[in-house]
Amino acid sequence: MGYGRAGFYGYDLLENVGSARGMRSADRILPEFQHVVVGDHVPISAVARLVFSAIEPQQYLIWIGESAESPSSFTWALYRVDETSTRLVSRIRWSHHWTQPGVLAFDVFTEFADHIAVRKILQGVKDRVERRVEPMAQQHVEFALYVVAFLGFLAAVGLILLRPLTWRDWLVGLGAGAAWLITWYAPVSIGIGAVLNTVVIWGLIRGRAKPLTT
């Protein structure tokens, strides 16, 4: 795994943009990246990287950050379930940059959004083990739906804050928040998510068209 290597098997549009190996994550094992040792670097983007801290073949590997001031770790571990099944478990630990407001804002966003990316990565690994790879178009639609749900929620909050509060605005805000949470955290199918967010957009348009004096 890694930026410029096999990719992350998740949302390729976001995770592999600019990669010299192309946008698409690998759908097979790449032999040239199989001989890593503790201390080797793992690029996670064009500007950031982690370091292999511990490796136990067929059991676990741990990546850590290079900064002693803001320690972080990314653990991947395999647990045998039965004779034919193995569970892949991912755990992340990082420290917030309390003295760097710009970075802290990204930390807060990551707090809400990173589990979505990791969930997709784990699904991508599972798909490749089972010899199937999701079409990129489906990835793009799913990612766009997440963005629309979040922007719809922000727009609803703005509608409530900038206008005299009415029952309609309050219900639109409640619906937008519910659609965002369901779309991100349930998760639901693309079709159901699209219906939920279409209803929210319709409510926002109706609310936006209402005169400010009412």
Q: In this model, does residue 109 exceed pLDDT 70?
A: yes
Q: In this model, does residue 75 exceed pLDDT 70?
A: yes
HSE of 61, CA atoms in CB hemisphere, 13 A = 17
pLDDT in tens, 3-17: 999 999 999 988 888
Give me the chain's average pLDDT, please.
86
Q: In this model, does residue 32 exceed pLDDT 80?
A: yes
Which residues contact residue 184 at a Cβ distance below 8 angstroms, ignoring those fewer than 6 apart?
A: 112, 113, 116, 146, 149, 150
Least confident of 69-83, 88-102, 110-124, 151-165: 88-102
Domains in the chain: boundaries: 12-134, 137-208
Sign, CA dihedral 169-172-174-176, equals: negative
**Average of per-residue pLDDT across 42-66:** 88
Sign, CA dihedral 183-187-189-192, equals: negative
Among left, alpha and beta (phi > 0; psi -120 to 50; other), residue 30 is beta
> pTM for this structure?
0.81
Q: In this model, does residue 93 exceed pLDDT 60?
A: yes
Taking Cα atoms as reference points, which of 63, 76, 172 lies closest to residue 121? 76
Q: In this model, does residue 211 exceed pLDDT 60?
A: no
Q: In this model, does residue 210 exceed pLDDT 70?
A: no
Q: What is the pLDDT at residue 164?
A: 79
| Packing angle, helices 167-185 and 190-208, rounded to 10 | 160
Q: What percent of the chain stands above pLDDT 90?
A: 41
Q: How confident is the model at residue 25 (pLDDT cuts 50, 70, 90)?
A: very high
Q: What is the pLDDT at residue 209?
A: 57
